[in-house]
Structure 1
Amino acid sequence: MLTFDDGPDPAWTPRIREVLDRHGVPGTFFVTGRQAARHPGLVRDLIRSGHEIGVHTFSHPDLATRSGDAVDREPAFTQLALAGAAGVHSSLVRMPYSSTAGALDGPSWSVARHLGEKGYVLAFVDQDTRDWSRPGARAIADAATPDPPGRGTVVLLHDSGGDRSQTVRALETPVPRLKADGYRFATVAELVGVERLTDGAGTAARWQGWVFVTAVTVSGTTVSVLGVLLLVVGGLVLARCGVMLVLARRHARRARRRPRADAVARTEAPGSLRQLWRQRYRWSYGTMQAAWKHRHALVERGHAGRFGRAGLPLLAVFRILTPLLAPLIDLLTVYGPVFGNAALTLPAWCGVLAVQGIVRRVRVPSRRGAAAAAVGAAGAADRVPAGDVPGAGAGLSHRAQRVPAALAAARAEGECGGAAGGRRTTLGGMTWRH
């Protein structure tokens, strides 16, 4: 009996099925729910060709290391995938990493007994070809030949999980030879003496399966698109970080050549999540409002046009689009371990955090250097003592930030009003005395 694990795969399952169909040999395919949901047409083709379908869990974990609820979810999700893909349920199961009966230890034996109590028929193998290691077509063919001759055997092969060209070539040798020697190929159902182990799913189960398969398909496409988009945005962020390093050095050199005004403002840091949310909302709304207000700079001539055509796209990408994409990274982190590759998802998440930390460390001094240069250009009359800033009382947390060059523009627009002790300017929700 020939059994195949880990499929279906669009590259190799059709080629293996073609070899079996050409020689009139049935095979038993233990599919993972994730692959079945991604390639439902391949499951239907296998069933139409008369091959047997078994369950190989949804995401191919080692069930012996999972909790009881996780053990139940793996075959349940796979049944949903089979119902949505081909309208069937299967009572046949093979546990990953426990292909032979001799591989069962205490924990895996408990899982096997639990699945048996659920009504599943567990299938093990007598001969493992180890075709996943790609030892060569000749070695795979020899490992698939019954030993000793004349004895029946259950053979393990794979139709997914990597390059299976050697497996396809290996089947061309033992199958016709064994048929010529009088061997008969069978399915698990024929071996255990039942009519079938794969039955049709009910109407409700088919609809649930269809919704499940559709959701997996849509989410897979969405994840691929978002992955490319996040990769592009990540590249832009790193490029921007490099440009900022260069510009920060230029600003620092210019600032050393001119008088500096230590105009400093202090703003109260949020003390609760509600205050943090309101502060971030104001900043985000203000950014979009400012970009829309100055949209005409995209088509203007002169310095304003050059600045607008460079600054507004950067503002849209790094201050509007990137923050909107940020929650998707968290969603992908939750989605990845369940439907994707957990070994890649978690390192990728840690990499995102590392890049954010590096960019933050670079951006803070760069902003201060650029702001200091802008303040120097505004003039030396803008020095604000810390005690003159409203809200700088004792017991509050504050952060210092340089005055932007827009302060000079505020004066030009007449936003400065008289006040006792000097002129007062209100800008960005903060009051400046000068």
Structure 2
Amino acid sequence: MSQRRRRTPGRHGSVRSVPLRTHWLLLTVTVLTLAAALLIQGYTQHLYGTAADEAALSQGPNATVPSAVVHGGPVIDAAADQPRTAAPGPNTIALTFDDGPDPRWTPQILDVLRRFHVHATFFVIGDQVAANPGLTRQILADGNQLGIHTFSHPDLGSLPAWQRTFELREAQLAVAGATGQTSSLLRPPYSSTDDALTDRDWQAVQQAGRQGYLTVLTTQDSEDWRRPGIERIIDNATPAGHQGQIVLMHDAGGDRSQSVAALEQLLPRLQGAGFHFATVSDAVGLPSPMKPARTVDHWQGLALIAVLWSSDRMLGFIGWLLYAAGALSVLRAAAVLVAARRHSRLAGTPWGPPVTQPVSVIVPAYNESAGIEAAVRSLLASDHPVEIIVVDDGSTDGTADLLESLRLPPWVRVIRQRNAGKPAALNTGIGAATCELLVLVDGDTVFEPDAVRMLVQPFADPRVGAVSGNAKVVNRGGLLGRWQHIEYVVGFNLDRRLFDLAQCMPTVPGAVGGFRRSALLGVGGVSEETLAEDTDLTMALCRAGWRVVYEERAKAWTEAPASLGALWKQRYRWCYGTLQAMWKHRGALLQRGPAGRLGRRGLGYLMLFQVLLPLLAPVVDVFAVYGLVFLDPVRILGLWGAFLLLQLLMGWYAFRLDGERPGALWALPLQQFVYRQLMYLVVIQSLCTALAGTRLRWQRMERYGSLRAPAQPAPAPQPTALADAWHDEASAARAGGHR
């Protein structure tokens, strides 16, 4: 990770001159590959039915079908202007099987054919051939013939000409790839006898004829696709006289156990009645339809089989991942709701005697002139004695000058320093503080009058080293503001309640956090090694044995980014810094005690739900579109609705716990279409940046001046009394500390 490299202090650290773009190309290729795999899977498996040919899908006029075809033989050559037909000779049966090959039923049928020395013709579906190439080769090795039954089993008469060509071409390539041969026989799906051809069917037969195919229809349908019983199948397949027949059976498309059992009785019965069995070409006296495939067709066929195999395996793997992700999401929702309920019940339990000792509030400021006055005045309105230290970190917008011109009380100090970065500013403030209890505040944050008092009450427990407050979005008027408001209340705060109970709090937000000075000094102060100094500091405190808790009653208001660009920059820095902190503190995974709880609970939770699951989010979106197009859209919408309902219930409960009006939740469904995608793209870019070792610069968020100090500030402590309190507190701290 990048923190191992030598770092130049300050906000404007070294960066690569050329921004990293390769990961976007990788993401685009990955998504397009997944989309292509889903498209192939949807086309071959879900766009058309692969069930048996249950007779005509539609009836229509047949005025254009030549009389010679309607009353002719079942094998049709439609290439010439005058179509020709052929039929099997007397006492000859061409046994045909449709819809295979099937890994379960086709081997059983081949076994029966071998035992009775019968050869048949198998009209195969291209995607089934690609899934079972070895079985397709076995059909030919046993002396049988292959015919084309299209690639995905559509009704050819209902397709445009280009799609008919595609269906035949891809099926032929699959056969060429699997066997090294091609076939000129075609049986259109859902076809039956010559006199059932419609005008649309005839157009498909003519087009196939021009492409070199002989269309093979049937004269006798066993109707085994109905599964009417073994005896019924035998009766349907038995000729009434001695005229030659092309008999239709199936080796795929459903349960074919009756077909196998009927075949075992049908073959010896017909052989005993004087019939002999032949392939279609032998039955009508035509040359073999099987020809060696061209080299280019063979290799294209192999590539097609490889693509279909890969897509099938990839989608199977991703399917399991999505099931796991869905289960984890539901478990997470249940866990945070249970934790939130328990945490809310414990909220009124006192930590010990009331904490009344004064507090040093440290405000690092860099170009914060838009909101620094509101932030400082809100702290002056606190109902708890405070010392305010503003560290101006080399601002160029007059931040320090503005504060000094306000004639603030003497317990507000402004310290100027050269630009060195937020961690350096915080460390300067920590060094200048006279109180043992510290509150670290961002310069864009306005405190409620009781926020400081609420924030420091957990320090009555000597085990507590830091306290996370409740940061709220102040500029929540627009859609983007509402989305962030929902995220703060539902996402951040629910998680903090869970982390508190699990004693593995990973982050005390920079906007509102309380600390023991001795605890901060014990871990070396605020580190500059990551961009998420608040997360890094919190993890260090946890590993040092301090307990970090959440106090939801300590409320502070902060400005959220008002544009997508600003939001991207903020979340990119947060996410990248969090990844840095996780990597820095990865040793906690193997430690015991509080450090182990942070490692195995806190870091594990962050890795699972803030890194890995967001990486699956693009897959979820692509699958949703896939389901709407190729699967049952009602089911997909139902699943989406159930997931959204779960989110709404979580949102309603979180808003209730935080005392917020739930009206803003109307924007939650819309959050799924823009905000969610932005967040997972942030995670993807952050992870790629971290893996590439690219260093980011500190990025300050644009301020909008929407913060306002409380209208009626609480009475401030008298300066002399506060100074005495500082003196007593500092003396006590020097005498022995607080742990």
Confirm whether residue 295 of structure 1 aligns to residue 586 of structure 2. yes
Shift of 1:245: 2.3
Give distance in 2, aligned partners of 1:199 and 1:347: 46
Q: 1:282 to 1:192 in 2, by over 3 A?
A: farther
1:2 aligns with 2:314: no
Closer/same/farther in 2, CA of residues 332 and 262 from structure 1, 3 Å limit: closer
Superposed, which structure 2 residues align to 1:124-135 within 5 Å? 124-135=217-228
Pairing 1:91-110 to 2, within 5 Å after superposition: 91-110=184-203
Could you tell me which residue of structure 1 aligns to residue 216 of structure 2? 123
Aligned match for 1:58, one of 151, 168, 179:
151
What is aligned with 2:560? 267
Distance 2:600 2:145 in 1: 62
Partner residue of 1:179 out of 254, 260, 271: 271
- How far apart in 1 are the matches of 2:228 and 2:284? 32
Residue 320 of structure 1 and its aligned partner are, at CA, apart by 1.5
Match of 1:382 in 2: none
Corresponding position of 2:179: 86
Aligned length: 373
3-state SS, counterpart of residue 253 of structure 2: coil
**1:350 CA drift (Å):** 3.9
TM-score, length-scaled by structure 1: 0.76
Give the counterpart letter for 1:353 in structure 2. Answer: W
Relative to structure 1, is the Cα distance of residues 105 and 205 closer, same or farther in structure 2, using a 3 angstrom cutoff? same
Alignment of 1:25-424 (within 5 A): 25-146=118-239, 148-255=240-347, 260-271=553-564, 281-330=572-621, 342-343=630-631, 349-350=636-637, 353-365=640-652, 391-392=703-704
Query: Which stretch has the larger CA shift, 87-96 or 41-50?
Result: 87-96
Structure 1: 5+ residue runs without aligned partners?
A: 374-388, 399-434
CA distance in structure 1 between the aligned counterparts of 2:251 and 2:323, rounded to whole angstroms = 31
In the TM superposition, what whole-angstrom CA distance separates every residue of 1:228-259 from its partner, at most 9, and x where no partner exists? 22212211111112222222323444457786
SS at match of 1:125: coil
1:318 maps to amino acid: F
Q: 1:257 to 1:166 in 2, by over 3 A?
A: same
Q: With structure 2 as the length reference, what TM-score do the two structures score? A: 0.46
Matched-pair identity in %: 44
Secondary structure of 1:172 counterpart: helix
Question: Retained in 1: the 8 A contact 2:566–2:702?
Answer: no
Runs of 5+ consecutive residues of structure 2 not aligned to the other structure: 1-93, 351-453, 455-552, 661-700, 708-739
Q: CA deviation at 1:36?
A: 0.4
Q: Deviations over 1:30-82 (max 9, x none)?
A: 11111101110011111111111011111222333333332221111111111
Shift of 1:151: 2.3
Q: Which residue of 2 aligns with 1:376?
A: none
- In structure 2, C-alpha distance between the alignment counterparts of 1:368 and 1:139, rounded to whole Å: 67
Larger displacement relative to structure 2 (88-97 or 289-298): 289-298
Q: Please give the alpha-carbon distance, in whole angstroms, between the structure 2 residues aligned to 1:275 and 1:196.
A: 70
Which residue among 107, 110, 117 is the counterpart of 1:17? 110
Q: Could you tell me how far apart the structure 2 residues matched to 1:119 and 1:189 are?
A: 15
What is the CA–CA distance in structure 2 between the aligned matches of 1:91 and 1:75, rounded to whole Å? 10
More displaced 10-residue stretch of structure 1: 356-365 or 151-160: 356-365
Give deviations 1:395-428, integer Å, cap 9, x for gaps.
xxx9xxxxxxxxxxxxxxxxxxxxxxxxxxxxxx
1:337, CA displacement in angstroms? 9.9
Distance of aligned partners of 1:109 and 1:262 in 2 relative to their CA distance in 1, 3 Å threshold: farther
Q: Which amino acid aligns with 1:391?
A: R
Cα-Cα RMSD = 3.1
Q: Does the CA contact (< 8 Å) of 1:252 and 1:369 recur in 2?
A: no
Is the CA contact (8 Å cut-off) linking 1:251 and 1:369 kept in structure 2?
Answer: no
As a proportion of its length, which structure holds more helix?
Answer: 1
Amino acid at match of 1:320: V
The structural deviation recorded for 1:390 is 6.5
1:75, 1:337 → 2: CA distance? 27
Q: Is the 8 A contact 1:255 1:372 kept in 2?
A: no
Higher CA-based Rg:
2
SS of the residue corresponding to residue 10 of structure 1 reads coil
- Secondary structure of 2:329's aligned partner: helix
Paired amino acid for 1:266: E
